């Protein structure tokens, strides 16, 4: 895994953990805390989905580059 991928994943995990800890340690009623946890989880799920999509796109681009390189090498032979 490249450092850029690690950075994206680390950022997503950090954001999620920070949000969860902030919500859990904030002094509020239980119902309000549960509501904020639910909203935070939904937001985190969306962000993770975006990151997974970005990684998928990156993998597909790398795959296409590899295919093009193989075809170019075969044409030289």
What does the pLDDT profile of the chain (77 residues) look like in tens digits?
677 777 778 888 888 788 778 777 777 787 887 887 788 888 888 888 888 888 889 889 999 999 999 998 888 77
Beta strands in the chain (DSSP E): none
User: What is the domain partition of the chain in residue ranges?
Assistant: 3-76
| CA dihedral angle for residue 12, residue 14, residue 19, residue 20, rounded to 10 degrees | 110
* Cβ pair 19, 40 in contact under 8 A: yes
SS3 67: helix
Distance of alpha carbon 74 from alpha carbon 77, whole angstroms:
5
Q: Is the pTM of this model over 0.75?
A: no
């Amino acid at each position: 895994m490249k450092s850029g991928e690690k950075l994206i994943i680390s950022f997503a995990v950090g954001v999620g953990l920070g949000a969860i800890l902030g919500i859990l340690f904030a002094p509020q009623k239980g119902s309000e805390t549960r509501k904020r946890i639910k909203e935070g989880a939904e937001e985190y799920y969306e962000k993770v989905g975006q990151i997974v999509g970005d990684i998928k796109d990156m993998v597909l681009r790398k795959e296409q580059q590899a295919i093009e390189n193989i075809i170019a090498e075969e044409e030289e032979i």
